[in-house]
Structure 1
Amino acid sequence: MTIGNDRDAPLRAHLLELLDGGAAHLGFEAAVAGFPVDRSGDRPAGLPHSPWELLEHLRICQRDILDFSRSAEYPKLDWPADYWPPSPSPPDGRSWDRSIAAFRQDLRAMRDLVADPATDLLAPLPWGSGQSIVREAMLLADHNAYHLGQLVVVRRLLGLWDDSSSPASSPPEDEG
């Protein structure tokens, strides 16, 4: 989607970059690439979450933030029960791919909301308590970055991460 020539175009561009990952954050695609689905329910010793639990938590929370950003009629979830899957393993062999597809779709929807020049990024959401789209987009980017980092740690501990091909192993681009 084109950002347009509105006064908030630079802010929209920065938010879109945050949502996409990269720069200082690992992107979603890199974190889930090549994951062996048959290992998605494995929990490393001493850690509380499996890759499946982290993926589903990312999907559920992203959807919650998106729903809240779009409407006062969003379905309110109960913490923590509604924010985590009931099992460390997916219910069937297709659940991993469905969760990834839903995450991508919701991320696109949040990106579309942010990129739309008709969206007032800074206006308080009428149904909130001071939240704005800019705040929700930053919250989403921050939450995703945190849990994608956890997913990489879990993958490393399970022996399922190749640091040599990781974007995180590359030096940061010179921004000067």
Structure 2
Amino acid sequence: MTSNAHIDQLVREQLVELLRGGFAPNVILLREFNYDKAGVMLPGLHFSGWVLLGHMHARLSTLLQFMKNPEGYIDVWPDAHWPENHQPATEQEWNAAIDAFEADQEEMVQLVQNPEVDLFKVQPNGKTLSWAAMTTFNHTGYHIGQLKTVGRQLGVW
């Protein structure tokens, strides 16, 4: 028979794996994406790698803020943020944006790993912290897939 503590630990481990990107780690893919191609918008698309990174990070940040302060951060799904500029100004800006995404991702991972954090308590807005983590990996995974497709078209991979 499996104990509740064992199930809780297993769920936390699986959430962490998925938050980091599973078999295709998010930060590794972002770091592999060439800076000189980060601003390219392919015909028919409304985003570049830079825009995708900004969009993913904005949503991650919103959900992280909810996880850190669920009572005070009720609106967890505001209008989507899409950066207006389609390319980073410098390679340093590109790398700093990846660093910031990674830092927020790891902060969320730390919350998920902390057994003192109740992932399943229903918050005032009807959501749980586990919902926020799952929404993050689902949203990030979707856009990382787009980034990977764009990167293949641009010869990154």
Tell me the TM-score range normalised by the shorter chain.
Answer: 0.7 to 0.9
Deviation at 1:149, TM superposition (A): 0.3
Distance 1:79 1:29 in 2: 25
Structure 2 residue aligned with 1:62: 60
Give the partner amino acid of 1:11: V
Q: CA deviation digits over 1:111-140, x for unaligned, max 9?
A: 1111111111110123x2x11011111100
Aligned partners of 1:6 and 1:117 also within 8 Å? no
**Which structure 2 residues correspond to residues 86-105 of structure 1 after superposition, within 5 A?**
86-105=84-103
Work out whether residues 27 and 102 of structure 2, in 8 Å CA contact, stay in contact via their aligned partners in 1: no
Q: Sequence identity of aligned pairs in percent? A: 34
Instruction: Tell me what 2:19 maps to.
Output: 19
Residue aligned with 2:32, SS: coil
TM-score, normalised via structure 1 length = 0.78
Matched, 1:148 2:144: yes
Listed one character per residue, the Cα deviations across residues 48-91 of structure 1 (whole Å, up to 9, x for unaligned) are: 210100111111111111011211434968513xx111111113
Structure 1 counterpart of 2:134, from 135, 138, 145: 138
**Counterpart secondary structure, 1:141:** helix
How many matched pairs? 151
1:78–1:12 distance in 2 versus 1, CA, 3 Å: closer
Q: What's the Cα RMSD here? A: 2.0
The structure where helix makes up a greater share of residues is 2
Partner of 1:73: 72
Contact 2:55 2:82 in 1 (8 A): yes
Which ranges of structure 1 fall in alignment gaps of 5 or more residues?
162-176
CA deviation profile, 1:127-166 (whole Å, cap 9, x unmatched): x2x11011111100101110000000111111221xxxxx
